[in-house]
Structure 1
């Protein structure tokens, strides 16, 4: 297994990340698995301007909405650290084969805004299936002596890999999402606006043209360009009914693209294990995003 440690003392550069993605990938070797990478972003901060972007998307800057968004904010603004890992020349599989599948975001304490922090990302577990590989990336936010936030993001590489095996414990969102009744009354209905796409790409570090250019998306078989999943998650968090306490965990299942210019409908169902919600693109039978907020 390859070991590699990298420290960023400034925001990871999109052009440098792009050059790494263009480098020929070494290829998958079951004996080596994924590299033992440890990427650290020193002096990472959740800046107030980025939080303001999320608040505008969510449609509110009240205390309850902001508390929800603080659970999402490190995943949005720190996502480029994970991408820097997946786009590294030593990474065995190319970034364009990676599909973001599930998220688990956990809050363990006070998340401070504009506070000098360390963000750490590691590949911790993977599962080789008969149709692909699931990979878990574990990110941690360190603020002083505290770790108030962490996440597990699960990616999927479609393809035939052998042998079938499991490495590490699966600590992310469950394989199967909860079911939300499509006949429930909607809690919100809106059109997904496609403005400021490039700004969102800079915010997340995800400059995939599938999220930016309609013509490119259509040439690759999609109806149009689709919004970044984090962007849609922020809008969902702004429309959900307010809980009595700030959420401590958010699980997300990303099931399909949410195209710009399309109308969407959000439904919510309270349960013993948290509030489940699902977002449908109008006209689709299957939800594009499912979540549980605990």
Structure 2
């Protein structure tokens, strides 16, 4: 198994990431699995400007909304470190085959804004199924001696890989998402604004043209360019800021693209496990996004 440790003293450079993605991937080897990489971003900070972008997307900057957005902020602004790892030349599968599937974002203490921190990402588990591989990436935010935030992002690589096996415990969001009744009265309705696409791509480090260019997206079989999932989640959190559950954990299930220019409907309900919500593109029977806010860790 390949071991690689890399430290960044500044935000990983997007052009360098792209060069890594163009390098031929070594291919999946069941004996080796995914590399034991640990990538560290020193002096990582959640900037006030980045938090302001999320607040504008949410349409609110009150304390409750900001508290929820702080669960999302490290996932947004630290995502480029995960992207850097998935684009490394020694990574066995190419980035364009990776689909972000689920997120589990956990808050364990006070998350400080504009505070010099360390962000660490590594692959912790994977599961080989008959139609693809699920990969769990663990991220940790270290602020001084504390780890106030961590996340597990589950990616999916379509394809047939052998043999079928698992490595490591599945600690991310459950494979089964909550069910929100589509007949519930809408909590909110809005149109997905397509402005400032490049600005949000700069926050995440994800410059996939599927999120930027309508013409490119249509040529690849999609109806239009689709928003980064984190961008849509910020909007949802603005509408459910009055939910009762403390913002200690946010779980997300990404079901499909949310296209710019489309009307969407948000519905929410209380369950024994927390405040569940789901977002539908108008005209679709299946939600594009499902989430759960809870106090459980």
Tell me if both proteins adopt one fold, taking TM over 0.5 as the criterion: yes
SS of corresponding position for 1:181? coil
SS of corresponding position for 2:207? coil
Q: Is the 8 A contact 2:107 2:149 kept in 1?
A: yes
Report what 2:170 is aligned to.
170
What whole-Å deviation, never above 9, does each CA across 1:72-101 have from its counterpart, x for those lacking one? 000000000000000000000000000000
SS of corresponding position for 2:215? helix
| TM-score normalised over the length of structure 2 | 0.98
Q: RMSD of the alignment, in Å?
A: 0.6
**Whole-angstrom CA distance in 2 between matches of 1:227 and 1:212:** 8
Report what 1:91 is aligned to.
91
Runs of 4+ in 1 over 2 A off after TM superposition: 243-246
Q: Is the 8 A contact 1:117 1:142 kept in 2?
A: yes
After superposition, residues 65-144 of structure 1 pair within 5 angstroms as 65-144=65-144
**Whole-angstrom CA distance in 2 between matches of 1:240 and 1:61:** 13
Q: Is the 8 A contact 1:127 1:134 kept in 2?
A: yes
Report what 2:60 is aligned to.
60
Where does structure 2 lack aligned partners over 5 or more consecutive residues?
none
**Whole-angstrom CA distance in 2 between matches of 1:167 and 1:293:** 28
| TM-score normalised over the length of structure 1 | 0.99
Report what 2:41 is aligned to.
41
Q: Is the 8 A contact 1:64 1:246 kept in 2?
A: no
Where does structure 1 lack aligned partners over 5 or more consecutive residues?
none
Q: Is the 8 A contact 2:245 2:275 kept in 1?
A: no
Report what 1:210 is aligned to.
210
What whole-Å deviation, never above 9, does each CA across 1:257-276 have from its counterpart, x for those lacking one? 00000000000010111010
After superposition, residues 1-294 of structure 1 pair within 5 angstroms as 1-244=1-244, 246-294=246-294
Aligned length: 294
What whole-Å deviation, never above 9, does each CA across 1:246-292 have from its counterpart, x for those lacking one? 31000000000000000000000101110100000000000000001
**Whole-angstrom CA distance in 1 between matches of 2:188 and 2:156:** 30
In the TM superposition, residue 136 of structure 1 has moved relative to its aligned partner by 0.2
**Whole-angstrom CA distance in 2 between matches of 1:6 and 1:196:** 32
What whole-Å deviation, never above 9, does each CA across 1:22-75 have from its counterpart, x for those lacking one? 000000000000000000000000000000000000000000000000000000
**Whole-angstrom CA distance in 1 between matches of 2:201 and 2:76:** 10
Q: Is the 8 A contact 2:64 2:241 kept in 1?
A: no
What whole-Å deviation, never above 9, does each CA across 1:116-164 have from its counterpart, x for those lacking one? 0000000000000000000000000000000000000000000000000
**Whole-angstrom CA distance in 1 between matches of 2:258 and 2:18:** 25
